[in-house]
Amino acid sequence: MASVSESPATAIDGVFRNRSFMGHVGAQFFGAFNDNLFKQLILFLAARKLFPGEDQQGLAFAVFSLPFILFSGIAGVMSKRFS
């Protein structure tokens, strides 16, 4: 824990010098990057297959994102209610 006399910038600098913390941040970053890359590749392939000859990337993005938007609230409530 940071001491009272230690400035916030010094405390943050100490955290970023911790190798295990940086490994954790790197793993989180590459995990999120991999998920988003996979989602975008599937989106491009699905849009090309569903709408040949047309540029319907926005529609395909809406179709694939809609379940996340609609069901995230319900999933949050259910996760609180049921362990």
For 64, the domain range is 8-81
In a domain, 3, yes or no: no
Number of domains in the chain: 1
In a domain, 2, yes or no: no
- The residue among 35, 43, 36, 48 whose CA lies nearest residue 62 is 43
In a domain, 52, yes or no: yes
Q: Is the pTM of this model over 0.75?
A: no
In a domain, 1, yes or no: no
Confidence at residue 6, expressed as pLDDT on a 0 to 100 scale: 66
In a domain, 18, yes or no: yes
Q: What is the pLDDT of residues 56-75, one digit of tens each?
A: 777 777 777 888 889 999 99
pLDDT band, very low/low/confident/very high, at 79 (cuts 50, 70, 90): very high
In a domain, 47, yes or no: yes
Confidence at residue 63, expressed as pLDDT on a 0 to 100 scale: 78
In a domain, 40, yes or no: yes
Of 50 and 4, the structure prediction assigns the larger pLDDT to 50
